[in-house]
Structures are given as structure tokens and as C-alpha cells.
Amino acid sequence: MSDSVPRQLRLLHVHAHPDDESSKGAATTAKYVAEGVEVMVATCTGGERGSVLNPQLAGRPEIEDNVAEIRRAEMARAREILGIEQVWLGFVDSGFPEGDLLPPLPEGCFGLQDPTVAAGRLVKVIRDFRPHVVTTYDEHGGYPHPDHVMCNRITVEAFSAAADGDLWPEHGTPWQAAKLYYHTGFHRRRDEMLEEAMHAAGLHYEAPHRSQDPFADGRVTTFIHCAEYFEVRNDALRAHATQVDPDGPWFAVPLAIQQAGWPTEDFQLVVSKVPTMIPEDDLFSGLRPDALVPEFMI
């Protein structure tokens, strides 16, 4: 893969909340930014209903009472660390319903939107930014948070709608992104390899994100080698101080063991408008300067 990008390639990540861009694919993001790719994150909600998950900050009224404002500031720090552009889609966080029976979602929240309508905001982003590649979560949201599931739904809808001149004409010139990916960063094969590497180093470890989907391994098509950017990812994660415990499971595996045990971040190719070969090691496979790319994707 070339270290330079003669044609300006563009990558759009669509995420549910501030911090998701740092916990899912952030080393891949940092790698492509370093190569000269223009990367944008579209954040669907402000994370207004998120709990303070860092025990060092939990219970402090000045934080608990200002979560929305603080999370925007955390996002600004993470954005700077990753070197990305970022846009807020402006939907309201649904919260994560828990209990038996599950409580209803709050009125007007993101998880209750009609995806064909809500996708309009993302259509405008796609047409303005004109990404070649778009990423989001799988149809289960990666995990069953209603905002993550809705994030998938509006992204799939907008990926197609942005290319259709009959839809959302008020949002600009149609644009067909070339490829759509789902994040598959947490899967059983990766977890097992990291556990094995930890045990080989004499350290106890049980992966906290073991996939609940026994078929998740079979979904992975694309392995991005980005171990040298794992520390950038960790710095971006720490920027979301209300959401990430610096002494917690995100950092339980030493950096060197992560880099040796599983040096990639992984994705599932869902749609490709250009020829490619599986497995891939590049989200832009089929889109590099030596590839035959339709002019409307350039």
C-alpha cells in the first residue's frame, strides 16, 4: 500500500455517541490521517444520557449535572488527537434501557426515529463531504444499544439515498460512496489471541468484549495493520474521561502485547461498488490511484 495518496481519499465514520470514534477503529483512523486521507466522524447524538463510567469522576455534581457539555469538550480533545473533522447530527441520546421489563425509550430520542427520515441529516453530510468509504456498526449495533442499532439503520439508508437524485434534493448533488463497512473489532478470534498472549506472558486476562455472535468471526473481511497507532487510540480514549476508566478493562492488556497479539483493527465489507479481493488489508482497496475507479467517485 502506498505511503502517499496522490488523489485525496475521504473516509466517513458514522458513530452513535462521542467516545465511539475512539473505541472503535481509532487506530485505523490515525493511520489513514497520517497517510493523508481526509477523515470525518459523524456523531449521531451528544451522549446526553450517558452515565459517568469513570469511578474517579462518578458522583461529582459538577460533572453529573453537566454531562452533555463535558462530553462535547471531550469530543473536541479526541478530535484533535485523531486529527479528524467531526460533525454532530443533532439527535438526542436514547440512554441504555435496563431492567425487566425493559423501560420504554424516552420520547423523541434517536432510537425512536424513522430511519428513512432521520437519514436525511446524514445524506447531507455524505453529499457535502463526498466520502469514498463509509463505516458504521452491524445490524445489531455491535451491541444492543438502541442508538447503535439506529446508527446502522440510518447509515445503510443514507449510503443508498445519497446517490439517488430523486431523494433529498435539498441536500445537494448526489454522491455514491464506493464502499460500506461494519466495525468488527470485538470478535472471538481476536479475544482468544489476546488471552493467549497474556497467558504466555504470565498474566491473567479474560477478554471483556467477547462476541455474543458465534458467527462474528466469519464476518471479518478486512484487517487493517495499525499497531503503531494503538497508543494514539489510547490517548483518544482517555480524552473521554467521563466514559473511560484509565485503570479499567480498555487498558488491561499492555500495549506491546496488544501489538504482538492482534496488530489489526477489523471490518466487514458490506457493499463495494469497485472490484476488490477478500481478505483486504486496506479500506481503500480498489480505490487507490492504480485502480479503475468510476469518475463520479473521484
Give, for all 298 residues of the chain, the pLDDT tens digit.
Answer: 444 444 689 999 999 999 999 999 999 999 999 999 999 999 999 999 988 998 999 889 989 889 999 999 999 999 999 999 999 999 999 999 888 888 999 999 999 999 999 999 999 999 999 999 999 999 999 888 999 999 999 999 999 999 999 999 999 999 999 999 999 988 888 988 999 999 999 998 887 655 555 446 678 999 999 999 999 999 999 999 999 999 888 899 999 999 999 999 999 999 999 999 999 999 999 998 776 566 666 6
Domain of residue 167 covers 10-186+220-284
Tens-place pLDDT, residues 120-139: 999 999 999 999 999 999 99
Pairing of the two strands 133-136 and 38-45: unpaired
The whole-number pLDDT of residue 217 equals 62
Q: What is the pLDDT, as a whole number, of residue 293?
A: 61
Answer yes or no: are the C-beta atoms of 23 and 48 closer than 8 Å.
Answer: no
Residue 161 lies in a domain: yes
Q: Does residue 294 belong to any structural domain of this protein?
A: no
Residue 50: partners with Cβ closer than 8 Å, 6 or more residues away: 17, 67, 71, 93, 95, 242, 243
Q: In this structure, is residue 35 part of a structural domain?
A: yes
For the domain that residue 14 is a member of, what is the CATH number? 3.40.50.10320
Q: Is 213 annotated as a binding residue?
A: no
Is residue 183 within 8 A of residue 136, CB to CB? The reply is yes
Question: Does any domain span residue 1?
Answer: no
What is the predicted pLDDT for the residue at 6? 46
Number of domains the chain contains? 1
In 10 A of CB 271, how many CB atoms?
13
147 is in an annotated binding site: no
pLDDT at residue number 296: 61
Flag whether 199 is in a domain: no
Measure CA 158 to chain center.
16
Tens digit of pLDDT for each residue in 31-66? 999 999 999 999 999 999 988 998 999 889 989 889
| Residue 202 counted as domain residue | no
In 3D space, the residue among 147, 185, 157, 201 whose CA is nearest the CA of residue 15 turns out to be 147
Beta pairing class for 38-45 and 179-183: unpaired
Q: Considering the domain boundaries, does residue 166 fall inside one?
A: yes
Q: Is position 20 annotated in a ligand binding site?
A: yes
289 falls within a domain: no
